[in-house]
Amino acid sequence: MKFPKVKGFAISVLSVALVSCSQIPAWSQSLPGERRTSGKGVEAAFEAQRQVLQDSSAAIYEGRKPILYGAIMSADGYILTKDSELYNYDEKTKAKTAKELMIIVDEHRYTDFKIVARDVEWDLALIKIEAKGLKPIKWAASSEIAQGTWVVTNGSSSKARRRVNIGIISANARAIDGALPVVMGVGLKKHKEGVMIEGVSAKSGAQEAGLKKGDIIFKFDGLEVKNRKAVLDVIRTKQPGDKVEVEFKRDDKSLKVEMELKAREEAGGGRKPKSRNDQMSGEFSNRRDSFPRVLQTDIGQNYRQTGGPLLNLAGEAVGLNIARATRAESFAVPCEEVQQVFAELLKGLNSAAE
Amino acid sequence: MRKRTQRNTNVLGRQLLVTTIGLVTLAVSSMTASAERPYFNDKKVPDAEDLMAIQKMLQKNLAQARAATVCIQLGGGSGTGVIVSEDGLVLTAAHVSSGVGKELTIVMEDGTKHKAISLGLHSETDAAMVQITDKGKYPFVKIDDGATIDKSSTLLGDWVFSLGHSGGFDKDRGSVVRLGRLVRIASNTIQSDCKLIGGDSGGPLFDMNGVLVGIHSRVGAVLDVNMHVPTHTFHAHWDAMKKNEFIGEGAFAKKPVMGNAFIGVAVEKVAEGLKVTDVDEEAAAAKAGIKIGDIILTADGKKITEKADLEMIMKKKSDGDDLALEILSGEEKTELKLKLGAR
């Protein structure tokens, strides 16, 4: 079916989506910018929450630009933030490197830091700076809060001063489905002897391991695999950087390689084509799906403003701001899960140290 | 992608300049927040107490507002609407209902579906009505009864909230609520900084009492450009829309053109009716499964013996209309419903 066009924009079943419009006719009344929801006047009403962000959030700078925020988890300098924004991927060397960053808490600058642990399921990274006497964020007793509740997170920052970004809880908490965050970087189809590789992505672990189109995988990480789901079920339990043994047939010969699994965005995989709603949203987070549970807010942030705590009016964190999904939807990891992930990451570090 | 959006928006921008002449000029005034008028507009900026009051009013009125907010599904797309009477009258945007007399599906917040039909629309302001045709008592919201822009109870700077089925119905998520302020007011458009996105179109904008003040229409590139059709625009055309009138020649809905619909077959006369000799793979007939060799026996219940019989029926059809055909395919008679497209 062809859709009729009316002077440049389609009126069709698909355009039930909102029609875009940036030019505005001569209006009779307009509210000054500072009085708007994102304006400085309204911001001023959130001074108490801003002070919490000043003390207990981290601003993460790449050069002169703040690119991410974080939540102070301990007085001695553990900070949780959004993992997938922390890395650069080098096309030439095919290497993933941590970005050159500077971390600012209040007005104190820290250039010496380590990314000490990651949780790929929740897209959280644990950073350690050498510090003493920081004020950790206070977590709310529960993330079960009514829709329409005010929430506050980090807005744009200067090196001296944190600012707020405000909104409300805007929909039911729920899981956000999406592609697996860890990938081998191949297309797979069923084959009578296992699963056949249909194609290999450039930059993927599969390509580096020498896997090719037509190879038939019959064992994956020591398990016999008969279908695609069996392979994905193994990948689901892995972290980026984990290595798996892949046994496969090529020209009737059985071969074995070790292959590294990579985060989806490192493997050059990644973004689905932009939907109509994406096109009207501006930039959004690299990773904005595949979360077991999130709170949804209407905070109209920039995609470089994620990672910080999500505060209620009492200044307690109900979550950690994890993604800008569209112009009208942002997600946060609920406070229970943030604390659980933090405890597990710390436990992992301690057991590794022993 | 950004470039294309810009181009589209410029075109619409020009359209809007044409369609919004005759603006009403109002004095900017502030009123005191009170039990009768809790719009929190008495101070230039809110304080901590106001924030709590805004949150309390929003949470108090959200449940009823949400119960009356519906997803409108038609064809492959969806928008939003809001029920304004117990017998199921729905207000929405003209670019959602997209025409008069269209069969639609209404989805309530809990996922219950109802049949509905589009009534009239105002194509220049993006206002439209839909009637739920399943008999029942429906949850509904009050409409701001101001008949003109200066009689409307909401003022510039008032806090408002929006609901919408962004991106389509999602039962786990529910409809999405957003909070903002009225940031611009003109005669047939109001603008808020409640952030909207595709699928919200036709959804409701409420004042803090949960009274309907606007219907979502369109957005700009920046976050605080979200346009709504004010309710007084609906009042101005209320009776005509209820009488199924297609008003205006505006950008938001296109009047059906009689005879522009297209089945997409070539036929020849045979003893039983008209035999299909060729099929346009892109058109309605092919999509309904009609193949070369099939014989058309009836159309909309009328027996077809000559090409002229079918042409007579098609003269009254327009793009988007349905056509019922009875087909002889080999030995088998089947009834098909075609959704006609434009030539």
**A28–B25 CB contact, under 8 Å:** yes
Domains of chain A (ranges, CATH numbers): 48-177+274-353 (2.40.10.120), 182-263 (2.30.42.10)
Please state, for a pLDDT cut of 70, what percent of chain B lies above it: 87
Q: Cα distance from B251 to chain A (closest Cα, Å)?
A: 7
Cβ of A30 under 8 Å from any chain B Cβ? Answer: yes
What torsion, rounded to 10 degrees, do the Cα atoms B222, B48, B174, B120 define?
A: -60
> Which residues of chain A lie closer than 8 angstroms to B96, CB-CB?
16
* A270-309 pLDDT per residue, tens: 556 788 888 888 888 888 988 999 999 999 878 899 999 9
What is residue A276's three-state secondary structure? helix
> What pLDDT is stored for residue B12 in this prediction?
38
Q: Which residue of chain B has the CA closest to A300?
A: B223
Residue B27 in this model has a pLDDT that exceeds 70: no
> Which residues of chain B lie closer than 8 angstroms to A23, CB-CB?
9-10, 12-14, 16-17
**B12–A30 CB contact, under 8 Å:** no
Is residue B252 a part of any domain in this protein? no
**B194–A277 CB contact, under 8 Å:** no
The torsion angles phi and psi of A109, rounded to 5 degrees, stand at -105, 140
**What is the overall mean pLDDT for chain A?**
87
**Is there a single domain that holds both residue B308 and residue B206?**
no
Cβ of B224 under 8 Å from any chain A Cβ? Answer: yes
**Is there a single domain that holds both residue B319 and residue B265?**
yes
**Is there a single domain that holds both residue B235 and residue B128?**
yes
- How far is residue A138's CA from residue A131's CA, in Å, rounded to a whole number? 18
**More confident call, B296 vs A18:** B296
> Which residues of chain B lie closer than 8 angstroms to A18, CB-CB?
196-201, 216-219
* B268-287 pLDDT per residue, tens: 999 999 999 999 988 899 98
**B199–A17 CB contact, under 8 Å:** yes
**Is there a single domain that holds both residue B193 and residue B299?**
no
Cβ of A64 under 8 Å from any chain B Cβ? Answer: no
- Determine which of A1, A152, A329 to mutate to test the interface with B (most B C-beta atoms within 10 Å): A1
* A45-73 pLDDT per residue, tens: 999 999 999 999 999 999 899 999 999 99
Structure tokens at B289: 């499964």
Number of H helices, E strands in chain A: 6, 27
> What pLDDT is stored for residue B40 in this prediction?
61
The torsion angles phi and psi of A231, rounded to 5 degrees, stand at -70, -45
> What pLDDT is stored for residue A159 in this prediction?
95
* B59-90 pLDDT per residue, tens: 999 999 999 999 999 977 899 999 999 999 99
Is residue B15 a part of any domain in this protein? no
**Is there a single domain that holds both residue B203 and residue B125?**
yes
Is residue B165 a part of any domain in this protein? yes
**Residue of A163, A148, A135, A202 whose CA lies nearest to A59:** A163
- b/e string for B262-273 if b means 16 or more Cβ within 10 A? bbbbebeeeeeb
Is residue B141 a part of any domain in this protein? yes
**More confident call, B37 vs B153:** B153
**More confident call, A278 vs B168:** B168
Around Cβ B108, how many Cβ atoms within 10 Å? 18
* B220-268 pLDDT per residue, tens: 878 889 999 999 999 999 999 999 999 998 889 888 888 888 899 999 9
> What pLDDT is stored for residue A271 in this prediction?
58
> Which residues of chain B lie closer than 8 angstroms to A288, CB-CB?
none
**Is there a single domain that holds both residue B127 and residue B214?**
yes
- What mean pLDDT do residues A159-184 have? 92
Which range marks the domain in which residue B242 is found? 26-247
> What pLDDT is stored for residue A26 in this prediction?
45
**Is there a single domain that holds both residue B304 and residue B176?**
no
**More confident call, A301 vs B96:** B96
**Is there a single domain that holds both residue B154 and residue B230?**
yes
> Which residues of chain A lie closer than 8 angstroms to B193, CB-CB?
36-38, 300
* A13-49 pLDDT per residue, tens: 333 445 444 444 444 688 888 889 989 989 999 999 9
**A174–B8 CB contact, under 8 Å:** no
pLDDT grade for B41, boundaries at 50, 70 and 90: low
Cβ of B292 under 8 Å from any chain A Cβ? Answer: no
**B9–A22 CB contact, under 8 Å:** yes
Is residue B162 a part of any domain in this protein? yes
Specify the pTM. 0.80
**Is there a single domain that holds both residue B210 and residue B268?**
no
**A298–B227 CB contact, under 8 Å:** no
Fill in the DSSP letter of residue B143: B
- Determine which of A12, A16, A312 to mutate to test the interface with B (most B C-beta atoms within 10 Å): A16
**Is there a single domain that holds both residue B232 and residue B268?**
no
> Which residues of chain B lie closer than 8 angstroms to A281, CB-CB?
197
Cβ of B308 under 8 Å from any chain A Cβ? Answer: no
Q: Taking a contact as any Cβ pair under 8 Å apart, which residues of chain B between 139 and 198 contact chain A? A: 156-157, 161, 166-167, 172-187, 189, 191, 193-198
> What pLDDT is stored for residue B316 in this prediction?
86
Is residue B131 a part of any domain in this protein? yes
Is residue B10 a part of any domain in this protein? no
> What pLDDT is stored for residue B341 in this prediction?
83
- How far is residue B231's CA from residue A274's CA, in Å, rounded to a whole number? 34
Strands (E), A41-110: 57-62, 65-72, 78-82, 87-90, 95-98, 102-105, 108-110
* A90-129 pLDDT per residue, tens: 656 556 677 889 999 999 999 999 999 989 889 999 999 9
**Is there a single domain that holds both residue B123 and residue B46?**
yes
Q: At which of B217, B247, B277 does a domain end?
A: B247
CB neighbour class for B102 (10 Å; exposed up to 12, middle 13-18, buried from 19) = middle
CATH number at B41 reads: 2.40.10.120
- Determine which of A6, A19, A38, A327 to mutate to test the interface with B (most B C-beta atoms within 10 Å): A19
> Which residues of chain B lie closer than 8 angstroms to A294, CB-CB?
none
**B8–A9 CB contact, under 8 Å:** yes
> Which residues of chain B lie closer than 8 angstroms to A282, CB-CB?
221
> What pLDDT is stored for residue A269 in this prediction?
56
> Which residues of chain A lie closer than 8 angstroms to B222, CB-CB?
22
Q: Cα distance from B25 to chain A (closest Cα, Å)?
A: 5
Q: Taking a contact as any Cβ pair under 8 Å apart, which residues of chain B between 118 and 137 contact chain A? A: none
In chain B, what are the helix, strand and coil shares in percent, each to the nearest 5? 20, 35, 45
> Which residues of chain B lie closer than 8 angstroms to A150, CB-CB?
51, 54-55
> What pLDDT is stored for residue B30 in this prediction?
38
> What pLDDT is stored for residue B6 in this prediction?
36
Instruction: Give how far the C-alpha of residue B117 lies from the chain's centroid of Cα atoms, to the nearest Å.
Output: 11
Number of domains in chain B: 2
CATH number at B306 reads: 2.30.42.10
Inter-chain contacts counted by CB atoms under 8 A, chains A and B: 265
- How far is residue A13's CA from residue A22's CA, in Å, rounded to a whole number? 22
Is residue B287 a part of any domain in this protein? yes
> What pLDDT is stored for residue B1 in this prediction?
34
Q: At which of B247, B278, B305 does a domain end?
A: B247
**Is there a single domain that holds both residue B239 and residue B280?**
no
**More confident call, B120 vs A100:** B120
> Which residues of chain B lie closer than 8 angstroms to A170, CB-CB?
176-178
- How far is residue A126's CA from residue A342's CA, in Å, rounded to a whole number? 8
> What pLDDT is stored for residue B5 in this prediction?
34
Cβ of A273 under 8 Å from any chain B Cβ? Answer: no
**More confident call, B273 vs B36:** B273
> Which residues of chain A lie closer than 8 angstroms to B191, CB-CB?
24, 27
Q: At which of B247, B271, B287 does a domain end?
A: B247
